[in-house]
Chain A
Amino acid sequence: MAMMPTASDTVQELSVEELRAKMGTGMEILDPEEHMLLSMGPQHPSTHGVLRLLVELDGETVVNLAPDIGFLHTGVEKNMESKTYTKALVMTDRMDYLSPMSNNLGYILAVEKLLGVEATPRAQVIRVILTELARIASHLVWLGTHALDLAAMSVFLYCFREREYILDIFEMVAGQRMMVSYFRPGGLWRDLPDEFEPAVRNFLDFFPARIGDYEALLKNNPIWVERTKGVGVVSAEDAVAWGLTGPSLRGSGVNWDIRKTQPYCGYEDYTFDVPVAEEGDVYARYRCRIQEFWESMSIIEQALNRLPKGPINIDDRKIVPPPRSELGHSMEAVIHHFKLWTEGFSAPEGYVYQSIESPRGEFACYLRGNGTSKPARVHFRAPSYVNLASLPQMAKNSFVADLVAMIGSIDIVLGEIDR
Chain B
Amino acid sequence: MERHEFVTDKIKTALPEAIEDIYDFRDERTLIVRADQLKAVCLMLRDDPELAFNFLSDISADDYLPQFPRFAVNYHLYSIPQNHRLRLRVWVEDPDEGPETMKDVWPIATWLEMEVWDLMGVRFAGNTALRRLFLPEDWQGHPLRKDYPLGYEEVQFSFNWEEIDSRKPYAKD
Contact = CB atoms under 8 A, between A and B. Distances in A.
B95 interface: no
Contacts of A353: 28, 58, 76, 85, 87
Given A77-B144, A241-B107, A377-B62, A352 B26 contact: yes
Given A242-B107, A385-B115, A379 B129 contact: no
Contacts of A116: 26
B15 interface: no
Interface string B81-119: 001010100000000000000000011101110010001
B63 to A, nearest CB: 7
A78 B143 contact: yes
A214 interface: no
B63 A377 contact: yes
Contact of B108 (A242, A261, A376, A419): A242
A28 B110 CA distance: 15
B58 A364 contact: yes
B21 to A, nearest CB: 14
Interface in B30-86: 30, 54-58, 60, 62-63, 74, 76, 80, 83, 85
A2 interface: yes
B14 to A, nearest CB: 23
A261 B83 CA distance: 7
Contacts of A82: 150
B152 interface: no
A224 B112 CA distance: 34
Contacts of B87: 353
9 contacts: A2-B165, A73-B134, A82-B150, A243-B106, A351-B30, A355-B57, A362-B57, A377-B63, A418-B134
* Shortest beta-carbon contacts, A-B, top 8: A243-B108, A70-B134, A389-B111, A379-B60, A381-B58, A73-B134, A350-B25, A26-B131
Interface of A: 1-2, 4, 24-26, 69-70, 73, 75, 77-79, 82, 113-114, 116, 240-243, 254, 256, 261-262, 350-353, 355, 362, 364, 366, 368, 376-377, 379, 381, 385-386, 389, 418-419
Given A24-B132, A353-B87, 9 more contacts: A1-B172, A70-B132, A78-B143, A243-B111, A261-B83, A364-B57, A377-B144, A379-B58, A385-B115
